[in-house]
Structure 1
């Protein structure tokens, strides 16, 4: 059995699907549609930090995915050269094309966000990277839920202390990014580098000691370490055999939306925690166990929804499937997994 087969076998041995008892916990993440109780913005305001003149699609995919999931508002904070292009993609997005000018110009908006995605289309410009570092630090210090993806992970590799300790950060490395991240940490510590995806996920999670790590691949491995608890969940819901550009951005936007919902109120967090405690006490090997926390549940839910949507898109488009096709399936996927019922006269 080669390394990849070993990862999948390890993962499958502990896998759970959305029909598991943990599905009731996932349902708690999704706010009700009740206009008598909620107004615009209460179902989530998502910020996406990224987008330069070369890469305008990635922040669009992340932000539009959040809207299609059910978030109320999506903001994109990008470089000036990307602003008009991203605006042309959709009038639904609120675009702020002055990221390069500095954190002080976007900070008033960041205060309003319920979750922030950092990295899609950010590029490797040193000025943009430095601004991204400051935004990560800003959000982490204020306990704003964060999803760090793509070039945001490269920024984090340069300064791992940005997210040390308690916080609500979720990292979403693909196989190559996870390998680089784990190897860099191992070199710093003088450890032998872990070889398999599962081993790398466990190692990065353990050494960072705080953020949730979503190791993307044939299966998605979701885990975090706290001072008293470490566990990895595995999402092996069938996805798409077609790997097109932009699917990681869709996942980042989906996870950010679930994070915003999971932490939208103390009442919601307590309800999720109570459900986790009940399931952890009496369900052997259940999807969710006491100690995982709402952000782990949110990350798992984002993986699940994205995989189901990607599978549906592939069944329609096959080899021509694009990230935009996956985004178009998100609404129907949410209805399938978390149905909204409307009374008919």
Structure 2
């Protein structure tokens, strides 16, 4: 049985931006740390990361707004000057009065003998790195034009960018871009990792995510409840060793349903992925015209086109959807399977066209031990909203999918999310090379194999999503992202699941 360490580190816990704003002062006060000292720590951390990530660079351009992020930017600029760097600091509204700790930080910058300048695009020609301290987590609504113009100019340049806390123009809670958003190379986030940095557009725009707790992370985590958890394959202890007297019947019987005429590839990848993840036996129910293609080259698969109810009786868990289609054959197979599972509860993974059929099935009845695995397009159909809606708040819509269909939901994409109706987990692994045909089918096979081997649905999803994404990263690191095929993952999946 798989075990997971229950003691979560600070880097695993994810928070809403308002939680950080609400509790960071109390956490600092509990340790007798002034907020200005916290700002100085943040600014120092930003400069240290800029120097570490982009060594041998001397010309810094620091861009500030008027909020606390600006204060961090001023302090970062001070540290850069002290390190002998050439620093140009620009404020979007240089004549606007700032207050409190931001004013103290600005005064410290002016005390170096430097000025606060007005931004001009030509400044980008002299810079080697940009520190983005324009907008923080407090932004409400779309980015104003004066900030949008600067953001677009930075994004159009080839300069590396270090963003403070969140890339300017990104919603820290949802990962939605608010009209215009900095594309950072590195984002240094403080106190608690914000949800929006871990999935969807947020994962893209933050670049490399660096966490600095500023010495108050533990105190903060005792005050604020984490809304979600970051998943990393290293956090899982793995599957238990098999008994010496094992036989194939001890390790699950998985029935994979799909493979309509002309669509044999998807269910073939699902079923082979299940075998590579360690399930004892795999049977495929497919259209008569797909049997030869599914069998070819993988004799370990049992492939049938009739006797669906007998196959459902045989199985300990079920996968339905890859290559299923939406014609009359598909609808009949789907209805038979759903009716069976309502009266004979077994773990079931619903994917691909089965999700599309589920979305239009007015007689839907919830199933126990059910996993649904939509990408954003399928989720939009399940919830009757737009794809843009899904991507604008992936955590929210993953939860809605899980609750509406009484299931554990895996919302696939950059930073795949697992939601079991009470808690969310987001995957740290994965790369753009995995955006290719068949990757979702492979994940479905992994999930089916894990529940067939006895894992509970939410744990199977957490481990399976991490396993799948990590395998993709390993293969991409060795051979490159372009040209990555779903079937390239099979050997690596086998290797990881045996660790």
Which category describes the TM-score, using the shorter chain as reference length?
0.7 to 0.9
Residue 56 of structure 1 deviates from its aligned partner by 0.7
In structure 2, the CA distance between the partners of 1:302 and 1:160, relative to structure 1 (3 Å rule), is farther
- Contact residue 305 and residue 330 of structure 1 kept, 8 A: yes
- Tell whether 2:242 aligns with 1:33: yes
For the residues of structure 2 that align with 1:156 and 1:252, how far apart are their CA atoms?
17
In structure 2, the CA distance between the partners of 1:199 and 1:320, relative to structure 1 (3 Å rule), is same
Partner of 2:175: 5
Paired residue secondary structure (2:233): coil
Paired residue secondary structure (2:384): helix
Within 5 Å, which residues of 2 pair with 1:191-340? 195-208=392-405, 210-225=406-421, 230-239=422-431, 241-262=433-454, 294-318=456-480, 319-335=482-498, 339=499
- Tell whether 2:350 aligns with 1:180: no
For the residues of structure 2 that align with 1:80 and 1:31, how far apart are their CA atoms?
38
- Tell whether 2:370 aligns with 1:169: yes
Q: What do residues 271-295 of structure 1 show as CA deviations (whole Å, max 9, x unaligned)?
A: xxxxxxxxxxxxxxxxxxxxxxx21
Query: Residue 120 of structure 1: which of 322, 341, 352 is its match?
Result: 322
Q: What do residues 29-73 of structure 1 show as CA deviations (whole Å, max 9, x unaligned)?
A: x3532232x222211211110002221110000000010111111
- Contact residue 264 and residue 323 of structure 2 kept, 8 A: yes
- Contact residue 231 and residue 466 of structure 2 kept, 8 A: no
For the residues of structure 1 that align with 2:330 and 2:383, how far apart are their CA atoms?
24
Paired residue secondary structure (1:15): strand
Paired residue secondary structure (2:243): coil
Runs of 5+ in structure 2 lacking a partner? Answer: 1-168, 177-194, 204-227
Residue 249 of structure 1 deviates from its aligned partner by 0.5
Residue 5 of structure 1 deviates from its aligned partner by 3.1
Bigger RCO of structures 1 and 2 (CA < 8 A, at least 6 apart): 1
- Contact residue 349 and residue 370 of structure 2 kept, 8 A: yes
Runs of 5+ in structure 1 lacking a partner? Answer: 99-104, 187-192, 264-293, 340-345
How many aligned positions are there?
280
- Contact residue 42 and residue 72 of structure 1 kept, 8 A: yes
- Contact residue 133 and residue 162 of structure 1 kept, 8 A: no
- Contact residue 49 and residue 59 of structure 1 kept, 8 A: yes
In terms of fraction of residues, the more helix-rich structure is 1
For the residues of structure 2 that align with 1:259 and 1:111, how far apart are their CA atoms?
16
Residue 242 of structure 1 deviates from its aligned partner by 3.8
Residue 14 of structure 1 deviates from its aligned partner by 3.4
Q: TM-score, normalised by structure 1?
A: 0.75
Partner of 1:273: none
